[in-house]
Amino acid sequence: MIFRRTVEGDVNVVLYVKPIFVVLLVAGLIGLVLGIVLPIVLVKRHKREKGEAEIIQVQEVIKPKSFYCSNCGAENIDITSDYCSKCGSKIKR
């Protein structure tokens, strides 16, 4: 069996929240935001600063290919020459 009740008239519902609960709710939300957002911002800033500090410029030094004279043993840098720059003998390749 189903019971039905009919209520006629105006019904006013008043929800009363104590101010301390509002303060605690706001403080909790601020704490939650600071607990999540602040560490993320600090970690990103640290990574960015660390990344900028660790940039190293590398300059490659190209040393000309050298070879040695088979007659006197002197190092010759100019690979296009056919004669040794020290003793003048013909270079064998």
Per-domain residue ranges for the chain? 14-56, 61-93
pLDDT tens-digit series, residues 6-42: 666 666 666 666 788 888 889 998 988 888 888 888 8
Task: Kindly write down the DSSP assignment for every residue of the chain, as one continuous string.
Answer: --------S---------HHHHHHHHHHHHHHHHHHHHHHHHHHHHHHHHHHHT--------PPP-EE-TTT--EE--TT-SB-TTT-PBPP-
pLDDT category at 63 given cuts 50, 70, 90 is: low
User: Does the predicted model carry a pTM greater than 0.75?
Assistant: no
